[in-house]
Amino acid sequence: MTDKTLPLIGITSSLHISRDVGMQSVTHFYLDAVKRYMGFPAILIPAGLAPEVAISRLDGILLTGSRSNVHPSHYGQTPTPAHEPFDEARDATTLPLIRAAIAADIPVLAICRGYQELNVACGGSLYSAVHELPDRLDHREPKDPPNQDVRFGANHAVHFPEDSTLRTIIGAELAQVNSLHNQAIDKLGDNLRIEATAPDGTIEAIRHTKARFCLGVQWHPEHQPDNNTTSQPLFTAFKTALLKN
């Protein structure tokens, strides 16, 4: 941990367009979760920041979700409309940042797009539309949900393998999670281990085996933290790793 009173968390931001002006931002859910469960200061990591600069000043990294997807050129595929939308400036920042964080053994918690970035950064690949695969669930968010509780509510179960780190963290074999993604892991990246699966076999969580703390989940633990049984354990484990950094 760097010489500060409390650990400093870097939170990845995404490009949003407001009134024809590009903005780097993050939803308040991530900030609320960090405040509620960790109580640590956090700053946004803007696109274009050199990874060595971020690593030199940060004690942990929270990789956030986004409506955009990792550009398929980063895992050897040709882009199609199914892969869109993109945020290539974010890709150019997060992928080298993840590799630098792992090399420096800085704790990482990756969520949704961040989880997919972690897999790609480690040499893995993605399915562009998991719901189009045979015998797979529809993992996309509900169409025209009547309210936010339905949109972010539990969608399916995930199973934690018996010897997984996540089973220890969550304290259970199964958990109900929300689901708001089109893409999913195809080929698993180097040194990554499966930490959770959906009933249809979709990989829902991964861990980097060479890092002290580097976890990724496909669902959104920052949403509905009072009802999401994975929220507090995940953020608490991240906090513990930061305090040991």
- The phi, psi pair for 107, rounded to 5°, reads -55, 140
Per-residue pLDDT of the chain (245 residues; tens, 9 = 90+): 444 589 999 999 987 665 666 777 788 899 999 999 999 999 999 888 889 999 999 999 999 999 889 999 999 999 988 888 899 999 999 999 999 999 999 999 999 999 999 999 999 999 998 888 988 888 888 777 777 777 777 889 999 999 999 999 999 999 999 988 889 999 999 999 999 999 999 999 999 999 999 999 999 999 876 678 899 999 999 999 999 87
Q: What is the CA radius of gyration of the chain?
A: 17
Greatest Cα pair distance, the chain, in angstroms, is 52
pTM above 0.85, yes or no: yes
User: What positions carry a catalytic annotation?
Assistant: 112, 220, 222
SS3 call for 83: helix
